[in-house]
Amino acid sequence: MKLATLKNGTFLVVSRDLRLALPAGDIAESMLDALQRWPTVEPRLAGRYRSFDDGTPLETIAFEPENANSPLPRAPQWLDGSTFENHGRLMEKAFNLPAADYSVNPMMYQGNSDDFIGPTDDVVVPSDSDGADCEGEIGIIVDDVPLGCPRREALAHVRLLVLINDVSLRARCA
Protein backbone atom coordinates (compact mmCIF):
# COMPACT_ATOMS: atom_id res chain seq x y z
CA MET A 1 0.00 0.00 0.00
CA LYS A 2 1.30 3.46 -0.93
CA LEU A 3 0.17 6.57 0.89
CA ALA A 4 1.03 10.22 0.32
CA THR A 5 0.40 13.68 1.70
CA LEU A 6 0.13 16.61 -0.68
CA LYS A 7 1.56 20.03 0.14
CA ASN A 8 -2.01 21.29 0.63
CA GLY A 9 -2.51 18.61 3.32
CA THR A 10 -4.64 16.21 1.26
CA PHE A 11 -4.10 12.60 2.34
CA LEU A 12 -4.01 10.10 -0.55
CA VAL A 13 -3.80 6.43 -1.42
CA VAL A 14 -1.48 6.14 -4.44
CA SER A 15 -1.41 3.48 -7.16
CA ARG A 16 1.48 1.03 -7.38
CA ASP A 17 2.88 2.80 -10.49
CA LEU A 18 2.61 6.24 -8.81
CA ARG A 19 0.45 7.63 -11.62
CA LEU A 20 -2.97 7.80 -9.94
CA ALA A 21 -4.28 8.61 -6.48
CA LEU A 22 -7.47 8.44 -4.50
CA PRO A 23 -8.28 10.96 -1.79
CA ALA A 24 -8.43 9.28 1.63
CA GLY A 25 -9.58 12.19 3.80
CA ASP A 26 -12.86 10.40 4.48
CA ILE A 27 -10.85 7.59 6.12
CA ALA A 28 -8.26 9.68 7.97
CA GLU A 29 -7.57 13.42 8.02
CA SER A 30 -3.83 12.93 7.66
CA MET A 31 -1.06 10.36 7.78
CA LEU A 32 -0.61 11.07 11.49
CA ASP A 33 -4.32 10.60 12.11
CA ALA A 34 -4.19 7.30 10.20
CA LEU A 35 -1.22 6.09 12.24
CA GLN A 36 -2.90 7.01 15.51
CA ARG A 37 -6.01 5.04 14.53
CA TRP A 38 -4.22 2.34 12.49
CA PRO A 39 -6.21 -0.75 13.58
CA THR A 40 -9.41 0.96 12.48
CA VAL A 41 -8.28 2.71 9.30
CA GLU A 42 -5.69 0.31 7.83
CA PRO A 43 -8.28 -2.14 6.44
CA ARG A 44 -10.15 0.70 4.73
CA LEU A 45 -6.95 2.22 3.31
CA ALA A 46 -5.84 -1.23 2.08
CA GLY A 47 -9.24 -1.75 0.45
CA ARG A 48 -8.94 1.56 -1.37
CA TYR A 49 -5.43 0.60 -2.50
CA ARG A 50 -6.69 -2.76 -3.82
CA SER A 51 -9.36 -0.93 -5.85
CA PHE A 52 -6.60 0.14 -8.28
CA ASP A 53 -6.11 -3.55 -9.14
CA ASP A 54 -9.84 -4.03 -9.67
CA GLY A 55 -9.91 -1.40 -12.43
CA THR A 56 -9.51 2.34 -12.34
CA PRO A 57 -11.85 3.80 -9.71
CA LEU A 58 -13.89 6.78 -10.89
CA GLU A 59 -12.59 9.15 -8.20
CA THR A 60 -8.92 8.97 -9.23
CA ILE A 61 -6.76 12.00 -9.72
CA ALA A 62 -3.36 12.19 -11.38
CA PHE A 63 -0.59 11.80 -8.80
CA GLU A 64 2.09 14.43 -9.30
CA PRO A 65 5.11 13.74 -7.04
CA GLU A 66 6.21 17.38 -7.22
CA ASN A 67 3.04 18.27 -5.27
CA ALA A 68 3.78 15.71 -2.55
CA ASN A 69 4.98 16.73 0.85
CA SER A 70 6.75 14.51 3.33
CA PRO A 71 4.28 11.82 4.44
CA LEU A 72 4.66 13.23 7.97
CA PRO A 73 5.74 16.87 7.51
CA ARG A 74 5.96 17.22 11.30
CA ALA A 75 6.50 13.94 13.11
CA PRO A 76 6.13 13.28 16.83
CA GLN A 77 9.69 11.96 16.95
CA TRP A 78 12.64 11.11 14.70
CA LEU A 79 15.20 8.55 15.84
CA ASP A 80 18.10 7.73 13.57
CA GLY A 81 20.00 4.52 14.07
CA SER A 82 23.00 3.06 12.32
CA THR A 83 24.37 -0.44 12.31
CA PHE A 84 27.24 0.42 9.97
CA GLU A 85 30.51 0.78 11.83
CA ASN A 86 31.93 3.25 9.29
CA HIS A 87 28.95 5.55 9.82
CA GLY A 88 29.38 5.26 13.58
CA ARG A 89 33.03 6.27 13.28
CA LEU A 90 32.03 9.33 11.21
CA MET A 91 29.46 10.27 13.84
CA GLU A 92 32.07 9.88 16.61
CA LYS A 93 34.28 12.33 14.77
CA ALA A 94 31.43 14.76 14.03
CA PHE A 95 30.17 14.79 17.62
CA ASN A 96 33.57 14.32 19.29
CA LEU A 97 32.43 11.06 20.93
CA PRO A 98 34.58 8.28 22.38
CA ALA A 99 35.02 5.09 20.33
CA ALA A 100 32.23 2.56 20.76
CA ASP A 101 31.69 -1.12 20.02
CA TYR A 102 28.89 -1.01 17.41
CA SER A 103 28.51 -4.79 17.40
CA VAL A 104 27.10 -4.42 20.93
CA ASN A 105 25.53 -0.94 20.86
CA PRO A 106 24.40 0.42 17.47
CA MET A 107 24.50 4.21 17.18
CA MET A 108 21.19 5.99 17.69
CA TYR A 109 20.33 9.63 18.13
CA GLN A 110 17.24 11.80 18.19
CA GLY A 111 17.08 14.23 15.29
CA ASN A 112 14.87 17.15 14.33
CA SER A 113 11.37 16.10 13.33
CA ASP A 114 9.63 19.43 12.86
CA ASP A 115 10.38 20.26 9.25
CA PHE A 116 10.60 17.41 6.75
CA ILE A 117 10.54 18.29 3.05
CA GLY A 118 8.84 16.62 0.11
CA PRO A 119 10.33 13.89 -2.07
CA THR A 120 11.15 16.18 -5.01
CA ASP A 121 11.90 19.37 -3.06
CA ASP A 122 15.32 20.94 -3.35
CA VAL A 123 17.60 20.41 -0.37
CA VAL A 124 18.80 23.86 0.65
CA VAL A 125 21.91 24.22 2.80
CA PRO A 126 23.27 27.57 3.95
CA SER A 127 26.81 27.05 2.66
CA ASP A 128 29.11 24.43 1.15
CA SER A 129 31.30 24.96 4.23
CA ASP A 130 28.59 23.29 6.36
CA GLY A 131 29.72 19.91 5.06
CA ALA A 132 26.34 18.68 3.85
CA ASP A 133 26.12 14.90 3.96
CA CYS A 134 23.17 13.37 2.08
CA GLU A 135 22.26 9.80 2.86
CA GLY A 136 19.60 7.59 1.35
CA GLU A 137 17.88 5.72 4.16
CA ILE A 138 14.96 3.43 4.81
CA GLY A 139 12.66 4.71 7.54
CA ILE A 140 10.38 2.61 9.67
CA ILE A 141 7.25 4.25 11.05
CA VAL A 142 6.04 2.55 14.18
CA ASP A 143 3.14 2.94 16.58
CA ASP A 144 3.65 3.30 20.34
CA VAL A 145 6.46 0.86 21.09
CA PRO A 146 6.66 0.02 24.80
CA LEU A 147 9.94 0.71 26.57
CA GLY A 148 12.02 -2.47 26.62
CA CYS A 149 9.96 -4.14 23.87
CA PRO A 150 11.49 -7.56 23.14
CA ARG A 151 12.81 -8.09 19.60
CA ARG A 152 10.29 -10.85 18.93
CA GLU A 153 7.44 -8.36 19.53
CA ALA A 154 8.93 -5.33 17.75
CA LEU A 155 7.73 -6.21 14.24
CA ALA A 156 4.10 -5.99 15.39
CA HIS A 157 4.65 -2.25 15.93
CA VAL A 158 5.82 -1.51 12.37
CA ARG A 159 3.21 0.39 10.37
CA LEU A 160 4.93 1.75 7.25
CA LEU A 161 8.27 1.93 5.48
CA VAL A 162 9.49 5.14 3.86
CA LEU A 163 12.46 6.18 1.74
CA ILE A 164 14.34 9.09 3.27
CA ASN A 165 16.87 11.66 2.10
CA ASP A 166 18.70 12.33 5.36
CA VAL A 167 20.74 15.53 5.25
CA SER A 168 23.25 16.36 7.97
CA LEU A 169 25.41 19.46 8.19
CA ARG A 170 28.55 17.75 9.51
CA ALA A 171 30.56 20.94 10.04
CA ARG A 172 27.83 22.27 12.36
CA CYS A 173 27.83 19.11 14.50
CA ALA A 174 31.27 19.69 15.97
Tell me whether residue 74 is in a domain: no
Tell me whether residue 115 is in a domain: yes
Q: Containing domain of residue 164, as a range?
A: 79-173
**Are 105 and 145 within one domain?**
yes
Model confidence at 174: pLDDT above 70: no
* Residue 173, pLDDT score: 62
Structural domains counted in the chain: 2
With residues binned 3-state (H G I as helix, E B as strand, rest as coil), the percentages for the chain, rounded to 5, are: 25, 30, 45
- R_g over Cα of the chain: 19
* Residue 90, pLDDT score: 78
**Are 90 and 114 within one domain?**
yes
Comparing 43 with 84, which gets the higher pLDDT? 43
State residue 12 phi and psi, 5-degree precision. Answer: -130, 155
The model's pLDDT over 54-70, given as tens digits with 9 standing for 90+, comes to 887 778 999 999 999 98
| Residue finishing a domain among 69, 87, 111 | 69
51 contacts: CB under 8 Å, gap ≥ 6? 22, 57
Q: What is the pTM of this model?
A: 0.80
**Are 84 and 167 within one domain?**
yes
Q: What is the mean pLDDT of residues 37-44?
A: 96
* Residue 99, pLDDT score: 87
The model's pLDDT over 16-30, given as tens digits with 9 standing for 90+, comes to 999 999 999 999 999
Comparing 112 with 43, which gets the higher pLDDT? 43
**Would you give the end-to-end CA distance of the chain in angstroms?**
40
Q: What is the mean pLDDT of residues 37-55?
A: 93
* Residue 37, pLDDT score: 96
Model confidence at 172: pLDDT above 70: no
Instruction: Dump strand ranges (E) for 42-157.
Output: 61-62, 68-69, 79-82, 107-110, 132-142
Top-confidence range, 74-78, 104-108, 159-163, 169-173: 159-163
The model's pLDDT over 93-124, given as tens digits with 9 standing for 90+, comes to 877 888 888 777 777 778 777 778 888 998 88
